[in-house]
Amino acid sequence: MELRTLRYFVAVAEELHFGRAATRLHMSQPPLSRAIKQLEAEAGALLFTRSPSGVTLTPVGTVLLDEARALLDHADRVRERVGAAAGTAVLTVGILGDGTDPGVARLAAAYRRDHPGIDIRVRDTDLTDPTCGLRAGLVDVALTRAPFDEAALTVRTLRSDPVGVVLRTDDPLARRDRLRSAELDDRRWFQFPRGTDPLWQSYWNGGRPREGPVVRAVQECLQAVVWNGTVGLAPLGHELPAELTVVPLIDMAPSRVVAVWNEGDTNPLIRPFVESATAAYRR
């Protein structure tokens, strides 16, 4: 059994839904389904009971889930110990499609100076996974934005940003110096794919259900505004193309920039990184 396939299995077992697991793993559903079927063939038994609404673990699947989690945890510890013995220390950081944030640049400069022996690997992710692959074991720590499901995660707030609505500059509302979300109730808003964290989706939809195009990346959001007049939220202070503007929303809670890692993770590289991030983002 390959470790990658076991990570796929754990994701499906925790989500109890192939679609949500595929979204969490940043892959399409067909190869995920094939991988699980191959794993069932290797195990010689069904691991899930399928239904239109999702899946449930079989008794064999329940046993494998405990063993898979233990094996993956052990594999991570082996990786860390081997890296330490080889004189290399690697920390994988997930960043939520926001690499232009000046806080990231300050953090990178300070961390290179204070921790020259640490190799940082960056995984840039789209807007469908606010934990940047953390739950799937793809990163050690994430620089992202809240809110999202914080179960089994440790979250440190680095900064709070006021938010506004992104509009075309020729939109009549673009001439306003501030708006309330109720004034946008008749507009189409960005949507994220099915299976996206509902807390995350709700926040970026102003706290209520909306209709509009499905997007995955920042550029898709901006192009939806340019071409279709779709509206959506964005932190204030970020550079936008000349044909777009952002108007502050006075009834929206700020967007929190956070560092997040798995609860109980004993990787000794995480804490120093988070402390450096805390200092860099508060300048």
Long-range contacts of 202-208 (CB under 8 A, 24+ apart): 203/147, 203/253, 203/255, 204/232, 204/233, 206/181, 206/233, 206/249, 206/252, 207/181
pLDDT digits (tens, 9 = 90+) for 34-63: 999 999 999 999 999 988 878 899 999 999
Question: Which among 26, 51, 83 is the end of a domain?
Answer: 83
Instruction: Say if residue 60 is in the same domain as residue 200.
Output: no
Write down the mean pLDDT value for the chain.
88
CATH number at residue 267: 3.40.190.10
- End-of-domain residue from the set 83, 99, 121: 83
Together in a domain, 79 and 124: no
In a shared domain, residues 277 and 149:
yes
Task: Give the domain-ending residue among 83, 98, 119.
Answer: 83
Whether the per-residue pLDDT at 194 is higher than 90: the answer is no
- What CATH number is associated with residue 47? 1.10.10.10
Same domain (yes/no): 132, 260: yes
Both 181 and 229 in one domain: the answer is yes
Task: Tell me which amino acid residue 112 is.
Answer: R
Comparison of pLDDT for 126 and 143, the residue scoring more: 143
Strand order in the sheet with 141-146: 118-125, 89-96, 141-146, 255-262, 153-161
Pair 261, 195 in one domain: no
What range does the domain containing 112 cover? Answer: 88-160+256-281
- Who wins on pLDDT, 269 or 82? 269
pLDDT score recorded for residue 217: 86
Q: Are residues 273 and 135 in the same domain?
A: yes
Confidence of residue 99 (pLDDT cuts 50, 70, 90): low
For residue 133, what are the contacts with CB-CB under 8 A and spacing of at least 6? 26, 94, 123, 125, 139, 142
171-175's contacts with Cβ under 8 Å and 24+ in sequence apart are 171/229, 173/247, 174/245, 174/247
pLDDT range class, residue 114, cuts 50, 70, 90: confident
- Domain total of the chain: 3
Shared-domain flag, residues 178 and 240: yes
The CA–CA distances, whole Å, from 39 to 4, 32, 74, 109, 146 equal 11, 11, 20, 44, 35
Mean pLDDT of 138-154: 93
